[in-house]
Each structure stands twice: as C-alpha cells, then as structure tokens.
Structure 1
C-alpha cells in the first residue's frame, strides 16, 4: 500500500493534532484523514469552518477543510492512527482504538515522555511506532489553533518500537508530504534509535515544559533569564545522566548533539552551555507548555510522565534527579493550590 491510499486518524485532535491533521489534509494525497476529538465544540467548529491555523512565528495563517468527528462517530478501520491524547489514559484509549485498526494497522504515538511501552502492551510491539515531535501549538478556540514554532523548524523523528517496523517507509512518505507543503525538507527523519530520540525530546520537555508550569514563562523567557536558564541546564544534564546510565545514546535535535553542546562540565563548559541555550531555543521562543495551559484551566497535567518519568528512570539506574523531583513537587503543589504559578518559585530550588 502507498501513502496516498492510507486511511489515517488523528486521535486527540487538540492543538498539536489539529495542526498535523490540517497539514496532512491539505497535502496533495488521496489519503483520507479524520480528526477525532472529544471536544464537541471543536469538532463542530472544524466541521463548519475548517481547521484555522495561526502561525505566530511566521505571521501567517491558513484554513483547511477537514473531516472531523467525535470518538463515538468512528466507523471505519484505519491504517495509521496518530495517538495525540494525554498519556495517562493510554491503556483504555489504545484498547478502544484497537477495534478501529485495519488488519495490519499501526499506532504512531506522538505523546511526550516514554509512551511506547504502554501502547505496545495492548497492540504489540510490532504495531507500535513513535514520533518525537519538535514543535508546539496551543488551542485558541473551536476550530482554531496557534502554531507557536516556525514552520521551517518543525520536525518529527519517527521510529519503530520493536526495531522491525515495516511501515516506516509509509510513515516517512506520508510525513514528507507535510514537509513539502511547509517548505521544510527536514520535517521527517527516520531513526533506528527511537528511544534516543524520545530521551532527547524528554530532556527538552523536562527542562522547559516543567519550568514553564512552575514559572508561567515561555520557553524563550526560561532560556533568557539567568536563574531559569541555569535550572533548565541542570535539568537537561540530569536527563543526560539518566539516559547515559540506561545505555541510551541521545539523538540529535534539529541537527545538534545536545549532550555535546550542553553537557560539558567544568566552568568553561557550563558557561558555554549557558551562552548557547537561548540561541538553541530561539526558533521555539514563543512556546508555552501545554501542561501550563492545563493547570491554568484547573486540570491535572502530565508532569508525572515528563519530569516524573526522569525521576523513575533515575531511581531505576541509580542516578539522582533532585531538580526534576523538585519540579514534580512544585507542579503538584500548584495543582493542589499550595503554590501559585510565579517566577518566584525558582527560589524553591
């Protein structure tokens, strides 16, 4: 089967899912793309007016006609399901989705953290694929989302959880069409080191998404301010240490070896890393953590699957992760009303 003939579902078409679904729907393919969300108002907005994507970094916007539906409206079987929901419900969600997979259909999880194991536990490792997504988006309103990364900086690194994935070619072909649409020839990369890519993305999220919730700052502001920049670097280095202890080689992020750039110890290595960090985050400076948006709405966020995952893996491999642990503690404190979202929270570290 070619990518042009695939039946595709974006399951969890929130901000990120709507951007991906809109781009896939707008490509010159015969592939059928369904955007599936539990948000009834959003689904109605998508049906009525299409997916409206505002690109703040580039100052552009576009609207694409899409096919949107609620989970209970699903009928067909899909060849590819991009899983873009919150990770905490994976067992139930993947069990539900398994009824709507074609005979050799696959799930490609774009979730943050280390989600593949929970997907594979339901449908098997050979049908489980992962994508480390290096771009951000926020929900604006019914049918409208904001792309907060520059289109030319958007990347997806895909891999097979089992290492035997025979659908990688199809996924690559499919996602290359998005790169062509956005003028980004580097949009998709295939890796044989999926967990290395996962840990690279997890390190960024643990540092910047976690601190975004704690302080209320954008990724760019975290990298610019001296106190949060030092904390972000410390968290990144905790992640590097855990991955190293686990025998995982980190993948490059947008062509850069993070550990080589940011992991050198000593005075000069640290000063160089602190200088590089805001430059490295420049194309994503407007990003605000999706977890921050959740907490601001009074919802529980996924901190246990981000910084919490680093802590659990650190405990497993005997690596101390005090900064990640403090992020988890503070975020839960904010969720429970013990602390406010404030830059002053950096004093708790």
Structure 2
C-alpha cells in the first residue's frame, strides 16, 4: 500500500516508520532538515523493542500525496486547514485520510475541507519525540483507537501487521473525551513547569489542581451528553507513574518556540463550558498561562488568542 504522512513530526514519523518497516511504500512529508536526513540515511526508528534505520521516501512538497492510498494527517491542530488546502489538489479520488491529531474537531474540519474524500479520526496513545532530524525516539505505548466504519477493518489489519495495537470502537466520542481529559490534566502543567510527569505531580498542590481540572472536564462532558465514568481520576493519575520521564507535547512545542495545541485542549473545554453554562476556572487559568508563555518576548499574548 502507498501511504503518505502529512506533517511528519514525531507521531507521523513513528507510525510511518513502522508501516514502512512492515513493507508499505511510505512517504514522509515534513520539515526540510528532517526530510534531508531521511533521504540521506533513512529514518532512525529507536523504539523500546528495536533500534533500526528504515529507508523510505520523504519530501517537503504536499504534492507527494498524489499517489497515496492513505494519507495520515499528523499536523498540529492549528495547521489543519492549511494542510487540507495544501493536499486537496493532489489527493486521489479514492484516497482515505486518517486524522492522527489531538483535539476533538480536527477530523470534522478535514472532512469539511475535503468533502470528496473519506476522513477517519484516529486516537493516538504514544510517547514519542524527534530526537533530531531523521531520528525518532519512542518512549512508550503506541496503540491506536479508531471508530467502527467501512474502512476500520483494513486500517486495523494494516497497523496490526506493522506491530501497532489497534482497538475498534462502535462510538469513538467517549474515548476522544477520555483522552482530552488526560491531556487537560497534564499538558499545560508540564509546559508551565517544564518538568516530566513524575516530578511535576509531586509539586505542592499540583495533584489537587489536576483533580480539579479533571472534574471540570467531566462536568462539561456530562453537559455534552458524553458518558464518561465518574471515577476517571485514578486512570488519569496513573499516567504519571507509568510515564514518569515523559513531557507533554505542549511542553515540547514551547521548548521549540512553537505555538502549541492548548486552544484545542484546555481551551476547548473552556469554550464548551462557556457555551453550556459550566464553570471551568482551573482549565481557564491553565489555558491562559500557556498562552502567556506562547507569546513572543515583548509581544502581546492576544497575538495568539484562541480562534
């Protein structure tokens, strides 16, 4: 199968590398330095199970999606519209677009902009980072969750053959919200503190702050009619013990001077809470603090306000 990865950062390179290792014709589409390293040496795929160099195609040009059967959209949420516009002229009529992105709205945004194509949301549970151009480092997990549909069996089989655990759910919405709750508990605090989860959660008052953020998320989900378990906190708390050295993607974005996805995480909960009449003061504070950190030195935080 021919597969293109649009936005081949850490997540895209990880799954693209595994699919290429399994024999698929994979093309990474990403930043020039990463592309140059992959074309020269292949992708160094350093996982918990193996450390190998995987040869594959790579390009900086979105037109490289032209012959793909599947396109994995792995861009940041803020770049969803731009990515859709970039690949739209080149997509094959039968191409399937998979959204491996944070947040609850990206697949819908892609579908609205790519009305002739099938768009499948995919939940990602992987701790990965780009350790350098052409070098992917895997820290833990790696499973995917997809919704039931006409393409779900083919998706699950292809990823499973590449060594990726896949779960198919009849209703993906509750799983999407569960992941959002975890992100709202960890991402902002990891970015603000610049600490990995294990150390961060030991800070005075941090665990209580996380519990309050989770409670607000659950209240908004309940108002939305999403059936989340009331006792979700133990699962959220367990992540710090399971991944004590992990830093959030939001922390990694800020460390690189990039805009984060906080508007689609805590910011989304704040917006939905306001629309539904549910107070979200902790999530609002976490969102606002990250937006302050995103602002350029001497700049106006309003330059990065939520859409």
TM-score, with normalisation over the residues of structure 1?
0.78
CA distance in 1, matches of 2:293, 2:258: 11
Residue 19 of structure 2 corresponds to residue 41 of structure 1: no
Q: 1:226 deviation in Å?
A: 4.8
Could you tell me which residue of structure 1 aligns to residue 126 of structure 2? 135
Structure 1 residues 127-276: aligned runs within 5 Å: 127-149=118-140, 153-159=141-147, 165-179=149-163, 187-250=165-228, 259-262=230-233, 273=234
Could you tell me which residue of structure 1 aligns to residue 64 of structure 2? 74
CA distance in 2, matches of 1:229, 1:322: 16
Residue 68 of structure 2 corresponds to residue 84 of structure 1: no
C-alpha deviations, 1:132-185, integer Å up to 9, x for none? 111121221110122121xxx32110126xxxx3111111111111336xxxxx
Distance 1:121 1:24, change over 3 A: same
Could you tell me which residue of structure 2 aligns to residue 329 of structure 1? 288
CA distance in 1, matches of 2:257, 2:187: 17
C-alpha deviations, 1:163-211, integer Å up to 9, x for none? xx3111111111111336xxxxxx1111122222211111111111111
Q: Which stretches in structure 2 are left out of the alignment for 5+ residues?
A: 299-307
Q: 1:85 deviation in Å?
A: 0.5
Could you tell me which residue of structure 2 aligns to residue 117 of structure 1? 108
C-alpha deviations, 1:292-338, integer Å up to 9, x for none? 22212222222111110111111122211111100111111122368
Q: 1:69 deviation in Å?
A: 1.3
Q: CA RMSD in A?
A: 2.3
C-alpha deviations, 1:236-255, integer Å up to 9, x for none? 221111111101124xxxxx
CA distance in 1, matches of 2:287, 2:6: 27
Could you tell me which residue of structure 2 aligns to residue 32 of structure 1? 25
Distance 1:338 1:138, change over 3 A: same
Instruction: Write out the 4+ residue segments of structure 1 that deviate beyond 6 Å after TM superposition.
Output: none
Residue 257 of structure 2 corresponds to residue 298 of structure 1: yes
Secondary structure in structure 1 of the residue aligned to 2:213: helix
Q: 1:75 deviation in Å?
A: 6.0
Could you tell me which residue of structure 1 aligns to residue 301 of structure 2? none
C-alpha deviations, 1:16-37, integer Å up to 9, x for none? 111111111111x4x3211111
Q: Which stretches in structure 1 are left out of the alignment for 5+ residues?
A: 1-5, 181-186, 251-256, 263-272, 340-349
Could you tell me which residue of structure 1 aligns to residue 86 of structure 2? 96
C-alpha deviations, 1:63-84, integer Å up to 9, x for none? 2112211125526332211110
Q: 1:221 deviation in Å?
A: 2.5
CA distance in 2, matches of 1:277, 1:127: 32
Could you tell me which residue of structure 2 aligns to residue 284 of structure 1? 243
Residue correspondences, number = 297
Could you tell me which residue of structure 1 aligns to residue 46 of structure 2? 54
